Amino acid sequence: MRNVGEWASQAVLNLPCDNSKSYVRDAEYVAAGIAGKGIQQRALFVGDDLNAFSSLLSFLGSKHWQISICRHAKFERRISTDPPLSVHLLVYCLNECEDLDTSVARLMQMRVDFPCTSIIVASTQFSGNDMSADRLAICDGSLKLPLAESDLFGALVSSLANNRVWQQRLRDWNDPESIC
């Protein structure tokens, strides 16, 4: 059985092409397809002010994703008691974190420990949205806050596809059996 990141990436590659770039339709396709595979999707949102993500929270909830919200102060304890082995999406807001270096190091370690978790990082300090592979050692995509609703849905679709690239890089670097 293929993992969620692999399945979602394949779904993204098979999206019907149209020039409107309807990210909401694409996100619906991916979210519904994962649900159709009988997989309980889980998303973890980390931050002290997640208002910018309310439409994504609502959207994922409407697609029957299990949503968890965690404040930065409790994140360390949360991942030690409930590791994100079955979390398909982590949305991490860097704005409220106490120490940027520690947060980035934590995210980099999570990439290795939990390679099947798609990670989206958000901050007001980014120069723009980046859904390229440039930051794959840290995340599958980054969003500049504040953001448009279409940015959220585009990030969801892109992060799942980028996660497959990340998993392939780990396979190339490590033992292929160590990946989900």
- Token readout for 170 is 């780990």
Q: How many domains does the chain have?
A: 1
Half-sphere exposure of 80 (CA within 13 A, CB side): 5
| CA geometry: angle 5, 159, 100, nearest 5 deg | 120
- CATH code assigned at 163: 3.40.50.2300
- The range of the structural domain enclosing residue 118 comes to 4-178
Please state the φ and ψ torsions of residue 67, each to the nearest 5 degrees. Answer: -105, 130
User: Is the separation of the CB atoms in 85 and 114 below 8 Å?
Assistant: yes
| CA geometry: angle 11, 131, 127, nearest 5 deg | 160
Is pTM beyond 0.95 here? no
pLDDT for 141 equals: 94
Burial-class residue 109 by CB neighbours within 10 Å (0-12, 13-18, 19+): exposed
Best CA proximity match to 91, nearest among 112, 72, 63: 72
- Token readout for 161 is 């596809």
From first to last of the 180 residues of the chain, give the pLDDT tens digit: 333 334 333 333 333 333 334 444 455 555 555 555 556 788 888 888 888 888 888 888 888 888 888 887 777 676 666 655 567 889 999 887 667 888 888 899 888 888 888 999 999 888 999 999 888 999 999 999 888 878 888 888 889 889 989 988 888 887 656 555
List residues bridging with 119 in a β-sheet: 90
Sole residue written with tokens 């300090």: 125
